[in-house]
Structure 1
């Protein structure tokens, strides 16, 4: 019989889509190894995100909605007891920032009470405590080896769970940069994409436009699935007015779009790993506390340029645009960053994670 894998992850306008998206890449590899994968979701919002991303990626995943509050995972236990007794999963992979020590203890007690042998796994990047699991994944570039006591520890950038399209890059550095990839991830609460486009193409009193040359610069803009409707319309209006702006809605060929871009602007998150796997020189910014040290590590290693935090740096847009312009006629700089990024992220993390899960069960 096929091994049963459960995945707990949620996504909405507040927590974005990253947890569901990165688990989908692992799920695809597990399916390829003959496993049966089911998402365990708190609410309908998360189910909607899952199916939106499934349409984008071309893979549909079964889901079970617990009808609980995503930020209070202990609420899951009542429904989980019935489900686990019926389904008897072999492995339960958890990807949530809201789990607590009490949550893992309750899970362990439930598994023991039901007489099951469910292995527990967790994807971490917060280091809140030593998680009581059998299997831990942390693909930060710098991970303290002695922090976790799990039996299986997959640590470092090589375990970044990316889609297969990012695993075999043939990226080339152009002599002069012309195409720019811009992404804020699933959401853009600070309207940074709009503000960058405005700085480049529209602002009459922009200090950047007074001294920098944007002639012929093309922007490939990814519109996140959770962008608000009025914001999407605003971006579409900008694209309608400027032939140099192309919007991409739920692109299934993200690696292809990245491959044709000479450099990128991105928030910290899965997209940054994807850009590094392709080899696109990237200017990255942070917009949450848990992103700051994460993106600074890329900067310290020379794999990306950290511009600052959108919440506190009022000159961030100008810094990003200035960096991009400086990179236009500097292929040597872009090549050094590209080579370093690809040496850290090989795009095969999801395959390695899935193989380790199958070996464990």
Structure 2
């Protein structure tokens, strides 16, 4: 129902997380027969065309464009009914102007603005605190892990009785869409010092990974472990569900792993991941390696060995994780938006 416009961007500096979660919500809204349009940059276009379940109209932004004017024009020319904003590029004035003319949704997990005049705020984080938002009288807030935006495949593959293998054979590395610190390569190098037995290592490379040549050189040498590279994985749920342990950046992938109950070792790769990783660790859902900038080979290997040699710890990590996310958050959010759009239509 209705025509819905998303604004989000992707780049080497920011990664692709904003665009990926918008794609997930767009896919759910499409199942309610909503028509989806994306306003994004070239990096976002690349991600959308690769990962979206449906073919969406894409409008490319120009540098230093005026977003409130752009939305006003698109409302008039395309008949936009709802605007969903997932970006750190916003101001109170812009949100206020846009919200006067259209049903507006802000996806926010960093409490970016001092005041939110949008109609709806979505904060999917486990530590989300509704009381921190200063809002207009009409603003609603959907907060917490019931609203985590995961693709449908995660709920389909979720197994609450997941068996934890006695021996870790399959290990996956995933450090986001960009991995600008090349943690993939650093971790693979360190893993060569673990020689108790050979592992099947899968390394996921995102759409903005820029170290392919260096990684190719590293892997051209004889390796103790069997390493397989995956570029731009379109069905991450299937790949993750097949793993015994995953080493991950501390972003939204942690929610995907939680839904599937995969024992996880996490690294903080950006400041906005600190609270998420700390909260997951405090609730027994991950083992944290701390900030990747402070991590050394010895500490990494000690933690890694402790996890893979302890089935009880891995079983407890899986059990705690499965309690957090059921994989139905995107449908809940989409249903809420559609309900409000119907009310606006009938008002």
Partner of 2:60: 65
Q: Is the 8 A contact 1:223 1:250 kept in 2?
A: yes
1:144 counterpart (125, 129, 153): 129
Q: What is the CA distance between 1:172 and its match in structure 2? A: 2.3
TM-score, with normalisation over the residues of structure 2? Answer: 0.90
The structure 1 residue matched to 2:273, chosen from 291, 297, 314, is 291
Asked if 1:162 corresponds to 2:162, the answer is no
Q: Is the 8 A contact 1:220 1:248 kept in 2?
A: yes
Give the 3-state SS of the residue equivalent to 1:11 in structure 2.
coil
Unpaired segments ≥5 residues, structure 2? 342-347
Shift of 1:324: 2.0
| Equivalent-residue separation in structure 2 for 1:164 and 1:275 (angstroms) | 14
How large is the RMSD of aligned CA atoms in angstroms? 1.8
Tell me if 1:217 matches 2:170.
no
Structure 1 length as normaliser, TM-score? 0.87
Distance 1:92 1:182 in 2: 35
SS at 1:347's partner residue? coil
1:88 matches 2:72: no
- Is the contact between residue 178 and residue 206 of structure 2 (CA under 8 Å) also seen in structure 1? yes
Return structure 1 stretches of 4+ with deviation > 4 angstroms: none
What CA distance in whole angstroms lies between the structure 1 residues aligned with 2:123 and 2:104? 15
Q: Report how far residue 238 of structure 1 moved.
A: 3.4
Q: Residues of 2 paired with 1:76 and 1:130: CA distance?
A: 18
Does the 8 A contact of 2:72 with 2:98 survive in 1?
Answer: no
- Asked if the contact 2:4/2:36 (under 8 Å) is kept, the reply is yes
2:187 aligned to which of 186, 193, 196: 196
Secondary structure in structure 2 of the residue aligned to 1:247: strand
Match of 2:13 in 1: 14
Q: Please report how far the alpha carbon of residue 314 of structure 1 lies from its aligned counterpart in structure 2 after TM superposition.
A: 4.1
Deviations 1:282-335 (CA, angstroms, capped at 9, x unpaired): 111112221111211111111112211123x142x4433322221122111111
For 2:344, the equivalent position in structure 1 comes to: none
Give unpaired runs (5+ residues) of structure 1. 112-117, 202-208
2:273 aligned with 1:280: no
Q: Distance in 2 between matches of 1:98 and 1:81?
A: 17
Q: Report the alpha carbon displacement of residue 348 of structure 1 after superposing the two structures with TM.
A: 1.2
The answer on whether the counterparts of 1:178 and 1:328 sit within 8 Å (CA) in structure 2 is no
Q: How many residues matched?
A: 332
Q: Shift of the alpha carbon at 1:87?
A: 2.0
Tell me: CA distance 1:314–1:336, structure 2 relative to 1, closer, same or farther (3 Å): closer
CA drift at 1:237: 3.5
The 3-state SS of whatever aligns with 2:111 is coil
Residue equivalent to 1:104: 95
> Following TM superposition, by how much is the alpha carbon of 1:240 offset from its aligned partner in structure 2, in angstroms?
4.2
Q: Which residue of 1 aligns with 2:2?
A: 3
Q: Distance in 2 between matches of 1:327 and 1:220?
A: 18
Q: How many angstroms does 1:222 deviate by?
A: 0.2
Q: Matched residues in 1 for 2:251 and 2:47: separation?
A: 17
Q: In structure 2, what is the Cα distance between the partners aligned to 1:81 and 1:305?
A: 47
Report the CA distance shift for 1:261/1:130 in structure 2 as closer, same or farther (over 3 A): same
Shift of 1:339: 1.0
Match of 1:115 in 2: none
Superposed CA offset, 1:87-145 (max 9, x none)? 23221111001212122123235x2xxxxxx2111111111233211111111111223
- Is the partner of 1:167 in helix, strand or coil? helix
1:164-313 correspondence runs (5 A): 164-168=152-156, 169-170=158-159, 171-201=162-192, 209=193, 212-228=194-210, 231-241=211-221, 242=223, 244-311=226-293, 313=294
